[in-house]
A and B are shown apart, each in its own frame.
Chain A
Amino acid sequence: QSVLTQPPSVSGAPGQTVTISCTGSSSNIGAGYDVHWYQHLPGTAPKLLIYGNFNRPSGVPDRFSGSRSGTSASLAITGLQAEDEADYYCQSYDRSLNGSGIFGTGTKVTVL
């Protein structure tokens, strides 16, 4: 059962900016644990987009950026492109669940 809450969906026109929130609590994000983000197209392997709150792996465009503050984190996609239409998940660590890994509830990004 996820303890990181994301909006079910966000949408934007090509070229616009969309932001996805990831809201946790004092036992995960609020405790200072890192947040990571993944892009997932159905039927394919998830792809790491952001690690350590704001770091991009090589090959990930700088249109994707991450931030963390308090008990929440955010992923921003600027200059939205058709190929960005996918599901996005945040991921962190929770100390209240036997030191468990946790994923957010997931957000579907639609490019209008």
Chain B
Amino acid sequence: QVQVEQSGAEVKKPGASVKVSCKASGYSITNYGFSWVRQAPGQGLEWMGWISGYNGKTNYAQKFQGRITMTTDTTTSTAYMELGSLRFDDTAVYYCARASDSSAWTTGEFFDFWGQGTLVTVSS
């Protein structure tokens, strides 16, 4: 069955970077994409970006441009999201989710399987 397993909680200092991983099983990641979504304490869901599992193409939310990098490793069926220049308000639970299209970020994308979430705490 399809599963998406994320890496464990992280504590980082302001200005540092964090890299969260998302290992997929039960399907071929080259047939789908991944999106990353976060939820800050007491807030709603926020879309951060998308990466193709097929060709590594990305589409990042404007808000994160310049400090976010998404990658995939097809040999291990793993997606990664690295966020740099961390600020206190980056404290959130970060989710990866399987996206419906593989090769391009399209207008009808939805997310059918989600990881369990990774808590990233930014604290001095």
Contact = CB atoms under 8 A, between A and B. Distances in A.
Nearest to A51: B110
Interface string B63-101: 100000000000000000000000000000001010010
B50 A48 contact: no
A106 B46 CA distance: 11
Nearest to A52: B108
B45 interface: yes
B108 A101 contact: no
A45 B47 contact: no
Interface string A23-61: 000000000011010101000111110011000010000
Nearest to B107: A93
Among B44, B61, B116, B117, the one with the most A-chain Cβ atoms within 10 Å of its Cβ is B44
A51 B97 CA distance: 14
A103 B44 contact: yes
B108 A93 contact: yes
Contacts of B61: 97-98, 100-101
A46 B113 CA distance: 8
Contact of A34 (B44, B107, B114, B115): B107
B111 interface: yes
B28 interface: no
Given A89-B44, A99-B59, A106-B45, A45 B117 contact: yes
A105 interface: yes
B92 to A, nearest CB: 13
A101 B50 contact: yes
A45 B47 CA distance: 15
A19 B60 CA distance: 32
B108 A33 contact: yes
Given A36-B111, A101-B61, 5 more contacts: A45-B95, A45-B117, A51-B112, A93-B107, A95-B107
Q: Which 9 A-B pairs have the closest CB atoms?
A: A101-B47, A45-B114, A106-B44, A36-B110, A103-B45, A93-B107, A51-B110, A34-B108, A48-B112
5 contacts: A36-B111, A38-B111, A51-B110, A99-B107, A101-B105
